[in-house]
Amino acid sequence: MARLHGADPLKKHVALVGFMGAGKTTAARAVGLPIVDSDELVEEAAGKPIADIFRDDGETVFRDHEEEAIVLALGGGAVTSARVREALRDTVTVWLDVDVDTCWERVRGSDRPLAQDEAEFRRLYEERRALYAEVADVVAHDVHDVVLAAAGVHVERGALQKLGDLVPGDGPVALVSDPHVAGIHGMDAQLALGSRLAETHELPPGEEAKTLAAVDRLWQDLRLDRRGTIVALGGGCTTDAAGYAASAYLRGIAWAPVPTSLVAQVDAAIGGKTGIDLPQGKNLVGAFHWPARTIVDPALLATLPDPQRLEGMSEVVKTGLLAGEPLWELPDDELVRRCAAFKAAVCLRDPRDEGERAILNLGHTFAHALEAAAGYEGVTHGRAVALGLLAALRLSGRDIGQVEEILRPTPVRVDRERAWNAMQRDKKAVGGELRLVLLGDDGPRWNVPVPAGDVRRALDELIA
Ligand SMILES: NC(=O)c1ccc[n+]([C@@H]2O[C@H](COP(=O)([O-])OP(=O)(O)OC[C@H]3O[C@@H](n4cnc5c(N)ncnc54)[C@H](O)[C@@H]3O)[C@@H](O)[C@H]2O)c1
Ligand SMILES: [Zn+2]
């Protein structure tokens, strides 16, 4: 396995290697980064289809073309070239490792020159595996794994025990957590970090962590130099605040969240948004600071209290609705992997929240209005989101049965006028319309104009 690197994953190239039929092109498209299929480039350069190059010029000539063409979505045989292997050192190389039967099923009967004889295909598959293993930084088994690798997200049961190896680089680590999580998982994290652990810090529990006073305290206590990494072990409050601290400390150092709550594993620790609150509102100060790696261990959820789990389930259901799949039905490890991958894909395509990323706010305009109307007391974000999802589904003309069954949201007791005013402030009604995220027939849409009267009715239904 090649060495793991430490820099911002967004600034690196992703090279996808794997055998014919593994699905490299499909996976590369899902990541949404500029994709170059080396096969296409080769065809373009040679001015003829690959089958013809093989027939007329032979495999050696094809490989020469391919070497020139290497960027993303490498052709299955590219790693046989030493020059290509050298070039891959500056990229995150992801091996899309798919079993030989699946690969063969996908390519048999095609005109690919190396996919004509099954026995030869299988022999070549075995031969190549060692090469892929040698160049790969990360092994992926499907498109979701590829997205996670491109985003620098590592999901693995038991990852906490391997923290020392998983935190990129080899510099010192400052471990930051909240007192509660530190008491449960802090010792395991410290042991796993071993000699890399230079200092430990605690942020106050809950939203208290997301204050300038708490972050200022952390800044003053930190001793790391620029080679150092902040590891944030905890829920979304810890990862938001510690990530923000990392974004500005010494003008920005690397950080690696180790999310421990469901909210943080499927949402807060993915996508590079960090921040703190102001008295005027939540998340008003912050930075985009993509983690060097996000290390997700679903086993940590075992100690999470039920109410906190329910908080996360609202975001899981939101993600499933956006993805068009009942992700909430999956067992924990897969549920976390799929939800994290969905958010990672959206954020990779829109890292600075200028477009598509808005879909992640499904139900949230209503939720924020309800939370504001309650003065942020007595109604949790998760419950408000669950209600907001009902409103978004109704306005999308969708059935609300499933969401009601899983999240069982009950209407909140807040002042209707206050909620409506908050909603309009949040979304500045233009020409009697508000702009919302809704679910269309072919997926989520954002900035959909909805008549104010319809929005108001939908909001009223959420209030007891
Ligand atoms: N940056 C983003 O993109 C983003 C996205 C969503 C939410 N957020 C932020 O996340 C915050 C909410 O996150 P949260 O719900 O995780 O809050 P939190 O960090 O306060 O954690 C919730 C509670 O669960 C406890 N806990 C966490 N992991 C545990 C574990 N494994 N076992 C036992 N207890 C555990 C914590 O100690 C805390 O008491 C909000 O501030 C929100 O704004 C940020
Ligand atoms: Zn939310």
Ligand number nearest to the C-alpha of 180: 1
How many whole angstroms from 209 Cα to the centroid of ligand 1? 11
Whose alpha carbon is nearest atom 2 of ligand 1? 268
What pLDDT was estimated at residue 78?
Answer: 58
How many whole angstroms from 261 Cα to the centroid of ligand 1? 6
Distance CA 69, CA 40 (A): 9
DSSP string across 267-323: IITSSSEEEEEETTEEEEEEEE---S-EEE-GGGGGGS-HHHHHHHHHHHHHHHHHH
Q: Compute φ and ψ for 155, nearest 5 degrees.
A: -110, 120
> Which residues form ligand 1's pocket by a CB distance below 6 Å?
178, 180-181, 184, 205-207, 210, 234-238, 240, 260-261, 263-264, 267-268, 271, 273, 282-283, 300, 303-304, 308, 311
DSSP string across 113-169: GGGS-HHHHHHHHHHHHHHHHHH-SEEESSHHHHHHHHHTEEE-TTGGGGHHHHSSS
Whose alpha carbon is nearest atom 11 of ligand 1? 236
Q: Which residues pair with 438 in a beta bridge?
A: 445
For residue 321, give Cα distances in angstroms to 172, 243, 387, 400.
Answer: 41, 28, 14, 11
Ligand number nearest to the C-alpha of 311: 1
- Coil/strand/helix, residue 34: coil
What pLDDT was estimated at residue 1?
Answer: 34
Distance CA 388, CA 402 (A): 14
How many whole angstroms from 67 Cα to the centroid of ligand 2? 45
- Coil/strand/helix, residue 81: coil
How many whole angstroms from 381 Cα to the centroid of ligand 2? 7
- Coil/strand/helix, residue 361: helix
Mutate to test the pocket of ligand 1, among 308, 332, 350, 364 (most ligand atoms within 8 A of CB): 308
Distance of CA 415 to the CA centre of its chain: 36
Distance CA 356, CA 288 (A): 16
Mean pLDDT by 10-residue block, N- to C-terminus, for the chain (464 residues)?
48 76 80 59 69 76 58 54 62 87 91 86 87 84 92 96 95 98 98 98 97 98 97 98 98 97 98 95 94 97 98 98 97 98 92 94 97 92 98 97 95 96 77 91 94 96 97
Distance CA 181, CA 430 (A): 44
How many whole angstroms from 163 Cα to the centroid of ligand 1? 20
What pLDDT was estimated at residue 9?
Answer: 66
Distance CA 129, CA 80 (A): 11
pTM score of the predicted model: 0.90
Whose alpha carbon is nearest atom 3 of ligand 1? 268
DSSP string across 364-404: HHHHHHHHHHTTTSSS-HHHHHHHHHHHHHHHTT---HHHH
Report which of 325, 355, 322, 351 is spatially closest to residue 444, judged by C-alpha positions.
Answer: 322
The helix/strand count (H/E) of the chain reads as 21, 13
Instruction: Determine the residue type at 462.
Output: L
Atom of ligand 1 nearest to the CA of 382: 15
How many whole angstroms from 322 Cα to the centroid of ligand 2? 13
What pLDDT was estimated at residue 7?
Answer: 53
**Rg (alpha carbons) of the chain, rounded to whole number:** 24
What pLDDT was estimated at residue 310?
Answer: 97
Ligand number nearest to the C-alpha of 361: 2
